Amino acid sequence: MGAMRAGLLLAGFAGLTIPLLPVQELLLRLSPKRARTFPHWYHRQVCRVLGVRLHIEGEVIKDKPVLLVSNHTSWLDIPVLSAVAPVSFIAKREVSGWPGVKLLARLQRTVFVDRTRRTAVEGTTNEIRARLQAGDTLVLFAEGTSSDGNSVLPFKSSLFAATMPGRKNSKNIPVENAEKSGSSNPVTETAVVQTVALAYTHLHGVPIGRADRPIIGWYGDMEMLSHAWQLLKAGPLDVEIKIGVPVPVSKFKDRKHLANQSEEEVRKNLVRILRHREQNEDFHVTKPTEEQRKAPSLQHASVKPRKGMR
């Protein structure tokens, strides 16, 4: 039955997607405003086809440029977050080479970051800044990778460079605090940051425990196509999304402060979802140690799913 379900879902996805590809291509050329919003409608339909039920708390504001800072668990995060609001994504350059994904990412106006080349990073930083100045909402997976969904990995402050770029003083020494440098940044003055904590909580209406949550997580050296097939076979999912209140970028001292505050809020909201805590309830949240923050591959230390759930 699982294979039959997966096959039907893939057929439904293809039947929805293929006819709409030229529609979005046309909108990109003729109506940039509609090209921003059409993927939002499309991904809401995708979530319905795949049997993903959204439970959203909070909302993304519409009258300002927004940097949405989110935790990252699975490839499924893309349609889920796109179904929440009209967004585009900031993704690593490798994604642009994945078959099929490259086309869909381009049509959603994804910004690709090549972290291996400094000149490319600077060009991407300028593109992100221009997109925010134009009023776009961009999603940043600030962990720089994906996890098993049970925790939030340390955020990388370097990924916030476009929003709060490092400055240099007269001696060409970087100055993290833009206010101290005396220079202005239009993005810092107009954009806001909102955090997003998302967690996949139920499978077939049954709560997902810590040991089984990695069935949704796509992390480490998992192969995407086989993981997608197994996940589609598994059954309908519920995902809870907690959106934080908007905070002006100008409220943060520097990008490290922005990264730390965002990480703390996303981690606390994820724990709140997983532990079923009330909004006004106080509880302890364990933070990563300095050793964990320096570890190169934290995603490989995740809990593996039980064989029976595969």
Q: What is the pLDDT of residues 131-181, one digit of tens each?
A: 999 999 999 999 988 888 899 999 998 888 877 755 444 444 444 444 444
Spatial distance between the Cα atoms of 72 and 267, rounded to a whole number of angstroms: 12
Integer Cα distance of 97 and 269 in angstroms: 33
| Angstrom distance (rounded) from CA 289 to CA 283 | 19
For the cut 70, the answer to whether the pLDDT of residue 229 exceeds it is yes
Instruction: Return left, alpha or beta for 55; rule: phi > 0 is left, psi -120 to 50 is alpha, else beta.
Output: beta
Q: How many Å apart are CA 163 and CA 131, to the nearest integer?
A: 11
Is there a contact between 222 and 73 (Cβ–Cβ < 8 Å)? no
Q: How confident is the prediction for the chain on average, in pLDDT?
A: 84
To the nearest 10°, the Cα dihedral for 259, 52, 151, 132? -10
Fold classification of 2-309 (topology level): Glycerol-3-phosphate (1)-acyltransferase (3.40.1130)
Sorted by where each begins, the domain ranges of the chain are 2-309
pLDDT digits (tens, 9 = 90+) for 234-275: 999 999 999 999 999 999 999 999 999 999 999 999 999 998
Q: What is the mean pLDDT of residues 178-202?
A: 76
Nearest to 282 by CA among 291, 290, 271: 271
pTM, two decimals, is: 0.85
